Chain A
């Protein structure tokens, strides 16, 4: 019976523990959906790049905003969410022991509900009835069932999240007084963050959009729905980032042959993310009317606070690298860098993600800077920004994770051939992103808008310059997109290879042994009631008064505009 819960001792000693086979099947189901969504989404990205560059025209039955919706929904929502749940399910099974049959069944129920939602949404987007982009801002109105699809998607993830939380609490029960292994701790924090964040989008979809789209109410409070969306939208990006950080904190140290630098700081960083990533949604609404300067500035300050745990992470991760390299005999101020496994894609892909997080995070600080947001708001800069954050840092980490996670789950070997393909894939992705995202950032400063089909604005000089620059050119974006598509195709092949073609065998699920300071980690860091309570207080502080004003001083509501998206 492999399905027993591990105690901390076993966890520390036995680093060859595997994901229980039945849990592996659940995790793999998520991986399949993730990569199918990934390849379709990536191809849509190529089409967008080519259309905007004026290089191709779409056939009449395919709309630019339709493929833009497909691209955003499949990559930002579907790929990320499914990969994250695959990683979390596998990781908690690996570190807290196999899941009980009941809990696993809850996980499967979550998977199927999320998948039904995904398929329904995909169907409506294909029909052209939901070209509202992945932000679905009211009062543009999609087909009513699109909002049902979104609800199913979110509810499914809640159920899957509940399975992970239940597994964690079961472990706690049988391991009283034990410190939760770092992976389980971080998975719990991530799921709690996700559930609190989704309350906002659930509120606007259930109480505003569904009654309005089905005709039960004829008007909608636009500003309130945008605010509820961004209450969700910013922690959403941390829901993408935290699993990548988990791989950095928990898996990478093992891959490079060392151990994490500090346990308590890692946990503290996650607590800070839980507290400060939610009451910050106004920094996406800095340029809109109806929210006062004061409350915008309050949330700007809170946004700057959530930068701190990332500053801590930069030190922790690099510190882990340096300590490991020195323990292996590395010396000098920087020459120890040579001791890191540069030729191992399981390290190299996430490492490139970390490097890219430097400009990505810096761009984020700029975006959140109150009135300065006017320089880049809704320009291509923003698109460049999130292609660096989620589209490079997070995704390269997920790719790097795939190279051991998928073969581990399918009972196959991580081969030197696969490693070479992975290294090539990582370079192609990085180079493609340099061209695409780099030019997008600069063109954004020159005013090129995001989310806009091919246009020269009646040959206006300002717009023509976007087709004319050496580097700041829509064609550079298209070239980058083409390189990225080759990289995406290669990654899809790697997925196929790892799932069905690689030689049978075993691949380790790398989990770092606990850091040397683990015994001194304060217990309070695992007091979830306390952290959820403080998070709730911060949310109430940041949102109560402005949301009250939005409701009490609301303008007459907006009817739905569904004819504008056809």
Chain B
């Protein structure tokens, strides 16, 4: 097999770039903890409303600026459908599904993860700007999928 000199340079450049990408991803993920949402906890989706913490969906204050939002995704809504936090708060979203596959997505942030029944998934975000943030479901979940939404008030 013969490789042209230019092709060797090209493949070295191409593969080199891929290695650089992987290294950057690996460092931010494993070094700084910016992993894709991969929570391993399991629940019974058919009994979700009786299992802590989803028996009391809503906001829980962890410390001065940190909150945990326990949210149930279901066809075709989130429970609760609104939460309020002060500007500068860090919110850990802890979401599970009571029925089919949904997503928990805040447009224009990195909070965009799948909510599969039986699993709990998580992501964290710090809200530095005030406003009403839209949360939507971007995984098809049935005939009313496009009406599934909630709001985060940041004041």
Contact = CB atoms under 8 A, between A and B. Distances in A.
Contact of A555 (B37, B44, B108, B143): B44
Interface string A141-164: 000000000000000000000000
B119 A311 contact: no
A64 B133 CA distance: 27
A304 B30 CA distance: 18
B107 A446 contact: yes
B4 A378 contact: no
Interface stretch (A22-30, A75-83, A184-192, A514-522): A514-522
A265 B103 CA distance: 42
Nearest to B15: A308
A65 B143 contact: yes
Contacts of A369: 21, 25
Contacts of A555: 42-45, 117-119
B90 interface: no
Interface size for chain B: under 10, 10 to 19, 20 to 34, or 35 or more residues? 35 or more
B10 A561 contact: no
Interface in B55-92: 75
A104 to B, nearest CB: 36
A222 B138 contact: no
A534 interface: no
Given A458-B149, A566-B143, A262 B22 contact: no
A315 B7 contact: yes
Contacts of A293: 29-30, 35-36, 38
Contacts of B15: 308, 311
Contacts of A373: 36
A21 interface: no
Contact of A223 (B14, B99, B112, B119): B119
A455 B90 CA distance: 29
Contacts of B155: none
Interface stretch (A10-18, A283-291, A405-413, A488-496): A283-291
B141 A140 contact: yes
Contacts of A517: 1-2
Most buried by B among A133, A286, A450: A286
Contacts of B21: 304, 365, 369
Given A137-B101, A371-B25, A292 B40 contact: yes
Interface string B131-155: 0111011111111111101010000
B101 A451 contact: no
Nearest to A559: B46
Nearest to A267: B1
Nearest to B149: A457
A557 interface: yes
Contact of A452 (B10, B134, B146): B146
A461 B11 CA distance: 46
Most buried by A among B1, B3, B47: B1
A301 interface: yes
A143 to B, nearest CB: 15
Interface in A314-345: 315, 319
B96 to A, nearest CB: 9
B141 A371 contact: no
Contacts of B1: 264-265, 268, 517, 520-522
A173 interface: no
B139 A451 contact: yes
A58 interface: no
Contact of B108 (A223, A446, A454): A446
A296 interface: yes
Contacts of B116: 222-223, 226, 288-290
A4 interface: no
A517 to B, nearest CB: 6
Nearest to A291: B38
B129 to A, nearest CB: 13
Nearest to B106: A447
B34 interface: yes
A355 interface: no
Given A287-B36, A311-B11, A312-B11, A454 B146 contact: yes
Contacts of A289: 37-41, 113-116, 119-122
A55 interface: no
A315 B15 CA distance: 14
A485 B51 CA distance: 51
A556 B118 contact: yes
A372 interface: yes
Contacts of B103: 287, 377-378
Given A223-B119, A289-B119, A371-B35, A564 B100 contact: yes
Contacts of B108: 446-447, 462
Contact of A455 (B38, B121, B146): B146
Contacts of B25: 297, 300, 369-372
Given A65-B145, A371-B28, A517-B2, A288 B113 contact: yes
B113 A297 contact: no
A463 interface: yes
Contacts of A133: 140
B26 interface: yes
A379 interface: yes
A375 interface: yes
Contacts of A253: none
A308 B99 CA distance: 40
Contacts of B142: 65, 140, 561, 564-565
11 contacts: A140-B141, A223-B118, A288-B37, A290-B38, A290-B119, A291-B38, A293-B29, A297-B29, A308-B14, A311-B14, A374-B37
In the A-B complex, the 10 residue pairs with the closest CB atoms = A447-B107, A555-B118, A564-B142, A449-B138, A555-B42, A289-B119, A288-B114, A289-B121, A455-B146, A378-B138
Given A369-B21, A462-B133, 15 more contacts: A226-B101, A287-B103, A297-B26, A297-B30, A301-B22, A365-B18, A370-B29, A377-B112, A379-B112, A452-B145, A521-B1, A553-B40, A555-B45, A555-B117, A556-B45
